[in-house]
Amino acid sequence: MLEVTGLSKRFGGLAALDELWLEVAAGEIRGIIGPNGAGKTTLFNVISGTYRPTAGSIKFEGREIGGLGPSRIAELGVIRTFQRVALFGKYSVLENVMVGRHRHAREGLWGAIVGSGRRIEAANRDRAREIVDFIGLGAARDEPARNLPYGHQRALGVAIALAAEPRLLMLDEPVAGMNSAETLEMANLIRRIRERWGVTVLLVEHDMRTVMGLCEKITVLDFGKKLAEGAPREISENKDVIEAYLGADEFVA
């Protein structure tokens, strides 16, 4: 589904990504891990169109997407979440998710003026409500997003991405800053999403327990290059990987 070939991204003299090769099959849950500065978020940013690749190619479902703008890539079904809390703060939970459905619910100026989009809007609202309930935020449906506790805000971020009906869902550190209960909830959510919709998931995470438990295959990055790739068990026993992480907080298999 996703084919990354010889991908490089340089910022001045610094190579954040250095001839990276990566292939993700449809329906996989793939983990991307690596020490800080390894290039994980840069990889996301290049795939999602925030940055242009310096060299190499990115093919999504056979189609070259390297260098396209972020909204164009999203339109093709590649939806990403953000490491930071990314929300439409003033809007309610439901309204946030409704914006997420933009790919499937749009209206031109004329439609807006004469009000012809009413039926699309109603269907849109229903679909958004389904997603809000699925995520588990049904009770807070009309609550302004900025009033939610942190864990719920992150879940909302995933809900917004889900509303876009992604074919490839890229989650950027979804459990960052969460306690163990919230982390478990999020991991379960991701599993349920894959079960229900068969979405392909690309996951960047530092929390090893989550990555090992969730992902079928893991790619390890270091200094912008691929260090290792394989099943969680192989990765946790890989000497190079352990060395790269030496000095980091924890590495629990």
Partner 1 sequence: MGKALGLAALTAALCVAPFVVREYYVEILILLLINAILAVSYRLITTTGDWSLGHVVLMGVGAYATALIAKLLGWSFWASLPLAGFGAAAVGFVFVYPLLRTRGFGFFIGSFALAELLRLVWIKFHDPFGGPRGMIGIPPVSVGSYQFYDAIPYYFLTLAIVALSVWIMYRIDKAVLVGNVMKAVYMDEALAQSVGVNAPKYRTIAFTVGAFFAGIAGALLAHRLGAIDPHNFDINTMVYLIIWVVVGGTATFWGPLIGLVVMTAVFEATRPLLEWRPLLFGGILIAFLIFLPGGIESLLAKIPPLVERLRRPRLGRRTL
Q: Which residues bind partner 1 (CB under 8 A)?
A: 48-50, 69-72, 74-75, 79-82, 86-91, 95, 98-103, 105-109, 111-115, 117, 120-121, 124, 160-161, 163-164
Closest to 54 in 3D by CA, of 82, 20, 79: 20
Q: How far is the CB of 125 from partner 1 (least distance, A)?
A: 8
User: Between residues 14 and 114, which has the closer beta carbon with respect to partner 1?
Assistant: 114
For the bound state, the minimum distance from the C-beta of residue 45 to partner 1, rounded and expressed in Å, comes to 10
Q: Which neighbouring-strand residues pair with 172?
A: 204
CA distances for 204 relative to 45, 81, 127, angstroms: 12, 10, 28
- Give the span between the Cα atoms of 158 and 173, in whole angstroms: 11
Closest CB to partner 1 among residues 74, 212: 74
The pairing of strands 55-60 and 63-64 is: antiparallel
- What's the closest the beta carbon of residue 168 comes to partner 1, in angstroms? 12
Cα distances (angstroms) measured from residue 2 to each of 8, 16, 137, 168: 16, 20, 31, 8
Q: How far is the CB of 36 from partner 1 (least distance, A)?
A: 22
Answer for the pair 172, 186: CB distance below 8 angstroms, yes or no. no
**How far apart, in whole angstroms, are the C-alpha atoms of residue 61 and residue 225?**
23
Nearer to partner 1 among residue 102 and residue 217 (C-beta): 102
In this complex, which beta carbon is closest to partner 1, that of residue 114 or of residue 246?
A: 114
C-beta separation of 178 from 184 below 8 A: no
Distance of closest approach, residue 48 Cβ to partner 1, in angstroms: 7
Name the residue nearer to partner 1 (CB basis): 108 or 247. Answer: 108
